[in-house]
C-alpha cells in the first residue's frame, strides 16, 4: 500500500522534471538563431563560444524567469483552490492579477516616463491592494470560502473595468499596456531573475511545509476547527502566501492567464489532493506550462513573437473546457 501510494506521485514528479529539462534544452536551442543541440552546454559555460551571448544573456534569463513565474503562479493557485475550496479559484479569478494589472496600466498611461523598475513595484502593490479589498469586504463573513470567492470575482471585475477605462482614455499609449496585460517574457534579463528568485526560493518551500494545514482545510471548516486549527488565522496566513507568490510573479511577467488555474488541476488528477505531493508537482507543471507557452510563442511566427499569456490561454482553454465537461458529467 505504501509503495503504491508513493509510486505514482514519485513517477509524476520525475516525469514533470524530465519534461522541464527537455523543454529547457529545446528552449535554449530554438529561436531566430538556432543553437545546435550539441553546442547548448558549451554556449552556456564558455564565454568565448559564438552563441554565448544569445544563450547565456538572452535566452537563459528568460527561461529562468518563465520557470520561476510558473512556479509562483501554480503554487499560489494550489493555495487558493485549497483554502477557498473552489476548483475555479486562481490569482486571476479572485482579482489579484487584475489588481496588479490595473496598477501597472495606471503607471504606463499616467506616468509613462517613470523608471522601468517602478512598473513591477506598482504591479506588486496592486496585487496587495486587491488582497486588502478582499479581506476588508469579506472580513465580517469570517473569511468564509464562499465569501472570498464571490468578493474576489467582484473585485476583479472592478479592476478590469478600471483597466478598460484607462485604455479608452489613453488610446495612443496602448501598445506597451496591452503587451504587459497579455503577459510577456520579452526582454527579460538577469535583473528579473534576481528579483524573482529570493521570493520563490523562500515562499514555495514555506507553502510545502504547510501541507498538513492545507490537507486539513480540505476537510471543511468544522472538521478543521475540531482538529484544533485556527480557521481565520491560518486561512489569512495561507492567503498571504498565495498573494505574495502570485503578486511577485505577475509583477515580473505580466498578467498570465490559466497557469494558476490549470497547473493545480493537472497535478491533482495525477496525485490526488495530498498537498505534500500536490504542491511540488503543481510547481513543476506550472514551470512546464510557462516554458512550453513561451517556446511556442517565440517560434510560431518567426521573427515575431506571440506573448506567452496568449499561448498559455490557448493551451489552457481546451483543458479547462475538458474539466467543465467532466465535472458536469459527474454532477449528472
Contacts of 14 (CB under 8 A, 6+ apart): none
Residue 278 near residue 272, CB atoms below 8 Å: yes
The CA angle 158-159-165, to the nearest 5 degrees, is 95
**Dihedral over Cα of 155, 160, 166, 168: its sign:** negative
Q: Specify the pLDDT at position 109.
A: 85
Q: Give the confidence band of 275 by pLDDT, cuts at 50, 70, 90.
A: very high
User: Tens digit of pLDDT for each residue in 186-228?
Assistant: 888 898 899 899 999 999 999 999 998 888 877 766 676 666 6
Is 77 in contact with 282 (CB distance < 8 Å)?
yes
Residue at grid coordinates 552556456: 44
Helical ranges in the chain per DSSP H: 2-29, 40-45, 52, 60-84, 96-110, 118-138, 145-169, 174-182, 190-209, 211-217, 221-226, 231-253, 259-271, 275-299, 308-331
Quote the percentage of the chain above a pLDDT of 70: 89
Q: What is the rounded distance in angstroms from the CA atom of residue 251 to the CA atom of residue 191?
A: 13
Confidence band for 26, pLDDT divided at 50, 70 and 90: very high
Residue 138 pLDDT: 74
Q: Which of 56-65, 100-109, 114-123, 173-182 has the lowest mean pLDDT?
A: 173-182
| pLDDT(95) > 80 | yes
Residues in the chain: 332
Query: Residue 303: what pLDDT?
Result: 81
* pLDDT value of position 218: 77
CA distance 281 to 78: 10
What's the average model confidence in pLDDT over 172-192? Answer: 81
Task: Categorize the per-residue pLDDT at 229 as very low, low, confident or very high, splitting at 50, 70 and 90.
Answer: low
Sequence-distant (6+) residues with CB within 8 A of 132 are none
Q: Which domains does the chain have, with CATH numbers?
A: 2-331 (1.10.3470.10)
**The pLDDT of residue 251 is above 90:** no
Average pLDDT (236-243) is: 90
Q: Backbone phi, then psi, for 229, in 5-degree steps?
A: -85, 130
What mean pLDDT comes out for the span 3-8? 67
Please give the mean pLDDT across all residues of the chain.
86
Distance between CA 187 and CA 25 in Å, rounded? 20
The whole-angstrom separation of Cα 287 and Cα 135 is 29
Q: Which H helix or E strand runs over 188?
A: none
Q: Which residues of 123-145 are buried (b: 16+ CB within 10 A; e: fewer)?
A: bbbbbbbbbebbbebbeeeebbb
pLDDT at 69 over 90: yes
CA distance 91 to 97: 6
Residue 332's pLDDT is 46
Averaged pLDDT, 145-174: 83
The residues near 257 (Cβ < 8 Å, ≥ 6 apart) are: 92, 183, 309, 312, 313, 316
- CA neighbor of 66 nearest in space, from 239, 284, 300: 284
Q: pLDDT of 128-140, one tens digit each?
A: 999 888 888 876 5
Distance separating alpha carbons of residues 57 and 64, to the nearest angstrom: 11
Amino acid at each position: 500500500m505504501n509503495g503504491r501510494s508513493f509510486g505514482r506521485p514519485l513517477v509524476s514528479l520525475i516525469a514533470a522534471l524530465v519534461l522541464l529539462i527537455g523543454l529547457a534544452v529545446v528552449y535554449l536551442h530554438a529561436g531566430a538563431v538556432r543553437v545546435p543541440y550539441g553546442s547548448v552546454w558549451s554556449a552556456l559555460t564558455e564565454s568565448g563560444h559564438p552563441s554565448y551571448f544569445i544563450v547565456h544573456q538572452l535566452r537563459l534569463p528568460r527561461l529562468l524567469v518563465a520557470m520561476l513565474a510558473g512556479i509562483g503562479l501554480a503554487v499560489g493557485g494550489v493555495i487558493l483552490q485549497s483554502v477557498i475550496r473552489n476548483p475555479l479559484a486562481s490569482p486571476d479569478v479572485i482579482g489579484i492579477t487584475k489588481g496588479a494589472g490595473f496598477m501597472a496600466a495606471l503607471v504606463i498611461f499616467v506616468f509613462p516616463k517613470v523608471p522601468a523598475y517602478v512598473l513591477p513595484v506598482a504591479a506588486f502593490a496592486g496585487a496587495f491592494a486587491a488582497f486588502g479589498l478582499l479581506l476588508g469586504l469579506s472580513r465580517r463573513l469570517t473569511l468564509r470560502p464562499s465569501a472570498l470567492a464571490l468578493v474576489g470575482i467582484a473585485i476583479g471585475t472592478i479592476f478590469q473595468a478600471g483597466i478598460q477605462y484607462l485604455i479608452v482614455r489613453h488610446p495612443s499609449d496602448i501598445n506597451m499596456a496591452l503587451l504587459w496585460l497579455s503577459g510577456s517574457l520579452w526582454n527579460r534579463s538577469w535583473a528579473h531573475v534576481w528579483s524573482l528568485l529570493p521570493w520563490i526560493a523562500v515562499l514555495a518551500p514555506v507553502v510545502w511545509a504547510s501541507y498538513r494545514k492545507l490537507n486539513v482545510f480540505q476537510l471543511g471548516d468544522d472538521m478543521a476547527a475540531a482538529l484544533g486549527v485556527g480557521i481565520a488565522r491560518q486561512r489569512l496566513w495561507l492567503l498571504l502566501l498565495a498573494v505574495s507568490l502570485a503578486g511577485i510573479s505577475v509583477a515580473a511577467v505580466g498578467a498570465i492567464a490559466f497557469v494558476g488555474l490549470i497547473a493545480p488541476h493537472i497535478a491533482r488528477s495525477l496525485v490526488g489532493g495530498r498537498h505534500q505531493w500536490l504542491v511540488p508537482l503543481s510547481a513543476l507543471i506550472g514551470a512546464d506550462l510557462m516554458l512550453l507557452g513561451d517556446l511556442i510563442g517565440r517560434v510560431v511566427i518567426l521573427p515575431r513573437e506571440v506573448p506567452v499569456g496568449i499561448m498559455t490561454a490557448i493551451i489552457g482553454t481546451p483543458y479547462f473546457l475538458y474539466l467543465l465537461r467532466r465535472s458536469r458529467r459527474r454532477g449528472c
